[in-house]
């Protein structure tokens, strides 16, 4: 079990947690929640919290392959109103900012976020790790090679599990040396990885437990599911639940999902399964 201090709000992983995705961007690979307007975003946050989400992850920049990069200023304009809206209506909710830009992370935590979720683990902004240490919030480090624009060019691995494990050994030390107390690791399903790599990491997720950090699995509605099944992201809920269940059984502490209700059901059933 891990305890995470999110700006004075403590959460534990004795039972796996569910993180709901809120896309404050018009160009997400699945749904751009910003298109629903602020009322729609608040309704989505309300629904996710009612269904059992412990964390809401708010992002203002799509990281799908080939997505357009935007400036920190534009990203701040997208996410800060969303964070303030949800924080004002649900002051006890744990909010996470999904960004690789340190200035966005700082502004988001000042506005009410309590976790920083960085797909680059500090590689795309060398100020990020020091900034998170100063903010004193948990840091989600994800494995990524290249950038979201170029990552599909970097899918050659001799041993994907070993490379991801070695990467986190280095990153965890870097974060701890900087003063970050609570580190969460995310193997980065779909980021510079093909379907075989993703299934390999999922099958061996328990190996990452040796790093003694909470493990986040973010595979919700991704191409490994819908391309394998010959469907679309919109039809990938059942496949997502199957892979979330495998992730839980293999040691995931946090599920990052678009569909909270179904993820919570998977958590409950797996917990019952494990105790018999």
DSSP the chain: --EEEETTEEEE-SS-EEEEEEE-STT-SS--GGGGHHHHHHHHHHHHHHHT-SEEEEESS--STTPPP--HHHHHHHHHHHHHHHHHH-TTSEEEEE-S-HHHHHHHHHHT--EEEETTTTSS-TTHHHHHHHHT--EEEE--SS-TTTGGG----S-HHHHHHHHHHHHHHHHHHHT---EEEE--TTSS--HHHHHHHHHTGGGGGGG-S-BEE--TT-HHHHHHHT--GGG-HHHHHHHHHHHHHTT-SEEEES-HHHHHHHHHHHHHHHH-
| Burial track 125-157 (b if 16+ CB lie within 10 A, e otherwise) | beebbebbbebbbbbbbbbbbbbbeebbeeeeb
The token duo for 78 is 């997208």
Is 256 an active-site residue? yes
Cβ neighbours of residue 107 closer than 8 Å, sequence gap 6 or more = 76, 80
Is 222 an active-site residue? yes
Q: Among 64, 227, 256, 274, which one carries the catalytic annotation? A: 256
Q: Among 222, 261, 268, 274, which one carries the catalytic annotation? A: 222
Mind telling me the catalytic residues?
A: 222, 256
């Amino acid at each position: 079990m891990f305890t995470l201090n999110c700006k004075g709000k403590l959460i534990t992983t004795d039972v796996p947690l569910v993180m709901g995705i809120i896309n404050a961007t018009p160009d997400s690979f699945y749904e751009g929640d910003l298109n629903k307007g602020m009322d729609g975003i608040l309704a989505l946050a309300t629904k996710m919290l009612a269904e059992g989400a412990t964390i809401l992850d708010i992002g203002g920049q799509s990281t799908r392959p080939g997505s357009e990069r935007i400036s920190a200023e534009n990203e701040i304009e997208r996410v800060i109103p969303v964070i303030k809206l949800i924080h004002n209506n649900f002051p006890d909710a744990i909010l996470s900012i999904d960004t690789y830009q340190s200035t966005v992370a700082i502004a988001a935590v000042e506005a009410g976020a309590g976790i920083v979720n960085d797909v680059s683990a500090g590689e795309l902004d060398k100020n990020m790790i020091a900034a998170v240490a100063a903010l004193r919030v948990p840091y989600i480090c994800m494995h990524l090679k290249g950038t979201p624009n170029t990552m599909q060019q970097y899918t050659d691995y001799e041993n994907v599990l070993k490379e991801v494990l070695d990467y986190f050994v280095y990153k965890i030390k870097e974060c701890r040396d900087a003063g970050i107390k609570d580190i969460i690791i995310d193997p980065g399903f779909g980021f510079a990885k093909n379907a075989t790599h993703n299934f390999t990491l999922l099958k061996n997720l328990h190996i990452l437990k040796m790093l003694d950090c909470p493990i986040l699995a973010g595979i919700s509605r991704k191409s490994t599911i819908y391309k394998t099944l010959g469907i679309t992201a919109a039809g990938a809920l059942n496949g997502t639940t199957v892979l979330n269940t495998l992730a839980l059984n293999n040691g995931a502490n946090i599920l990052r999902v678009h569909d909270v209700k179904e993820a919570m059901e998977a958590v409950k059933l797996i917990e019952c399964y494990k105790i018999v």
